[in-house]
Structure 1
């Protein structure tokens, strides 16, 4: 009889453990899956293409500059929305009207890390120092625009720095890169040729495969404004459509909330009650089994 009770107890414990294991969600959340890099153990995704066939993530970095107004005029005339990664050090009282115009025209505001520190000094910063620098620059942009930037661009090589990737992730930024870069001085025809070659390379009418990359344009670069008068006419030829980076990546919230770090902490701590409840339920089940079979 005692043997039967022992066997029944063991079966009960196995069933309880099985049920609890089924209850716990071992798979990563949708957000975690989307942010996991297939080539690395880090969790920060660096976007360089759009999710929808034919979408082109158009972005201008380091504004506002003396050419920003003319770029805005071209985009407005062609009903194109883009992302402007602003350099906080370029925002002055004398150009805040241009910054406001970017927002009022419906463009997305992003951040370009533009510290006064040299690149080697930036590479040596710790995570907390990086966070302070990013939030300081984001606040300058937010004070000028009324929005808290979420999309971010980093200087060369910093997107490989684990401290920056961790800080960006914890602060709720979205990091993007580009597969076509118009940031070196060229004449108008060279700019247009470079862009069209990329559009043509990614276009296949037979398979209905269309370009869906993210670009990088250096705001303030000579000849870029004139080049975009021609570039903007190319999209239709390759069944492509310029979009802002939130549309390109499918990110739901295009700006951060001011307490994004606190929200992340809350979400992590919010998982603990579930773990405690699950563990408590398991212990309670074992106690009940012991009570009935012994």
Structure 2
């Protein structure tokens, strides 16, 4: 047999052996769903997630901030407004050149549309306007879509009033779960709670009881070189807006603290970083 013919015969023998040894592939079952892909929706449960890229970075969960980081500062925050009492509080703040943060609702004790001038004034005076959701809903009980609706509804109204949307928010009741933080993070919010609660809503007529929270906090502070607290109260309460707030600010200023917005007490002094278009 010629050399070329001999090589051809050997090749045919080896090919036949390989085909007989290879296992047959099972036919594709068209009735079964295709395997799930790792998307932003099921990324958290993936055993081996891919490296974070532009899409997955947006999925990053929000971090909950409860205290200031800048030494010698405190942040006094007011929730649930605006209200009929907020304007009087703004008068006092202007005299003292103190800045605070207002976590606003769209429709809670009143409708924000009825207090547009107060919101505009607070913004122009250099106070920080932040979100507290549209209807003061407990975010830990809502679906992703409903959380987005709560946030976007208020954002739209605030932008109509002051031309920008907040990047800082506070969850009602301080309540959240992983879904809420994931959703807020993907929307670009900084989540702010507090570490000192005056509980003024529980005893609205007892200003001195709420003020003791400030007295105790300042007494326990070792020095102004330490980072300060984020205090919570509500300007929907008349005595909080017109007495507790002013007394607390006077106390802080006399002790040498700077009363600033949440953004500033976290080292973000540029108001542009508190908002987005």
Which TM-score applies when normalising by structure 2?
Answer: 0.69
In the alignment, the residues of structure 2 paired with residue 189 and residue 211 of structure 1 have an alpha-carbon distance, to the nearest angstrom, of 25
Tell me how large the CA RMSD over aligned residues is: 2.6
2:218 corresponds to which of 160, 177, 199: 199
Correspondence for 1:110? 130
3-state SS, counterpart of residue 50 of structure 1? strand
Which of the two has greater helix per residue? 1
Q: Deviations over 1:86-142 (max 9, x none)?
A: 11113444421111111121111101124275x4xx534322331232111211121
Question: Is residue 2:162 matched to residue 1:145?
Answer: yes
- 1:164, CA displacement in angstroms? 0.8
For this pair of structures, how many residues does the alignment match? Answer: 214
Distance 1:103 1:157, change over 3 A: closer
The answer on 1:66 being equivalent to 2:77 is no
For each residue in 1:25-52, what CA deviation from the matched residue of structure 2 results, as whole angstroms up to 9, or x when unmatched? x9xxxxx9xxxxxxxxx74221111111
Asked if structure 2 preserves the Cα contact closer than 8 Å seen for 1:55 and 1:240, the reply is yes
Q: What is the rounded CA distance, in whole Å, between the counterparts of 2:183 and 2:149 in structure 1?
A: 10
Q: 1:240 to 1:72 in 2, by over 3 A?
A: same
Alpha-carbon contact 1:62-1:112 (below 8 Å) kept: yes
In the TM superposition, what are the counterparts of 1:32-181 in structure 2 within 5 Å?
43-89=61-107, 90-115=110-135, 119=138, 122-156=139-173, 158-159=175-176, 161-181=177-197
Q: In the alignment, what sits opposite 2:228?
A: 212
Counterpart of 2:44 in structure 1 is: none
Is the 8 Å Cα contact of residues 61 and 184 (structure 2) preserved in structure 1?
A: no
Unaligned runs of 5+ in 1: 1-25, 27-31, 33-41, 259-294
| Closer, same or farther: CA 59–106 of 1 in aligned 2, 3 Å | same
Instruction: Give, in whole Å, the separation in 2 of the partners of 1:199 and 1:215.
Output: 12
Q: Distance in 2 between matches of 1:145 and 1:173?
A: 18
Give, in whole Å, the separation in 1 of the partners of 2:104 and 2:174.
19
Structure having the higher Rg: 2
Q: Give yes or no for contact 1:210–1:240 (8 Å, CA) kept in 2.
A: no
Q: 1:8-23 to 2 correspondence within 5 Å?
A: none
CA distance in 1, matches of 2:174, 2:121: 32
Given the alignment, which residue of 261, 264, 271 partners 1:244? 261
